[in-house]
Amino acid sequence: MSTSATLPQPPPDRVAELQESLAEILARVQAASSSTTNERHATLVAVSKIKPASDVYACYNHGQRDFGENYVQELEEKAEQELTDIRWHFIGTLQSNKAKNLAVTPNLYSIQTLTSPKTATALNKHLPPSRPPLNVFLQVNTSGEDNKSGLPPLSSSSSSPSDLVDLAKHIITTCPRLHLQGLMTIGSLTESLHSSEKEVNEDFERLRVTRDMLQGVLAAEFPVVEEGKEKEKWGEGGRLFLSMGMSSDFEAAVKAGSDVVRVGTSIFGARPKKGVTA
């Protein structure tokens, strides 16, 4: 078992740079959280894709515990240190044929990009029975862009069956090793870049409305249990979490009600294209 003293570390100037950036982002997340009515502060997931494991460990030594990765293989490699209190969040596209590898990754805390019953079933099959249920977020394509993954959001004007509702019910009824934690979105670049200029980010608002509607459906069919009586089938206290907001718009996301923000570039710096070396 690794300890912070034995983890590989980047050069001292890089450590200082990372810790300064992390401290700044944490302060901004806390400030944005304090301006809302949300009882809990938003969780910062530091997204380290394509950056070396030593960058992760430098932030870990500075107190950061939640980290996100986009690629299964990269997450597997970085999780080899098996730090007991680190929490890994998978935020990349997940296909069912990768579910087996991901399911046995040490300290996997959540998967935020679930979009199909097939993948949910595969995860449920391969998760070790000894671990607590894995938190999952359903990815919603709030912008409707063809290049974005995710299920369509819910709308009060639509009466047709919903893939999102069907997937949520599938997880609750047939995947006991999964825990439906919430919804996640990657909004449009246009909305993100203008988040500080607009009162309402349409993608964030669309996800919030979708969450509220899904909560209503689930509460009617799977009532919230009294605390301590039995394990909740979904969310926490009858509430689904929202994961929205990245480097360019995380403060606006927190103010719009996000429970989780995923920040990479503002902490670790710009990323080279995968497979390209300097």
pLDDT at residue number 48: 92
- Say which residue, 118 or 83, is predicted with more confidence: 118
Mean pLDDT over 33-56 rounds to 92
- Specify the pTM: 0.92
Contact (CB, 8 A) for 172 and 234:
yes
Listed range (129-138, 143-152, 191-200) with the worst mean pLDDT: 191-200
pLDDT at residue number 253: 95
Q: How far apart are CA 175 and CA 122, in angstroms?
A: 9
Phi and psi at 37, nearest 5°, equal: -95, 0
Q: Is residue 107 over pLDDT 80?
A: yes
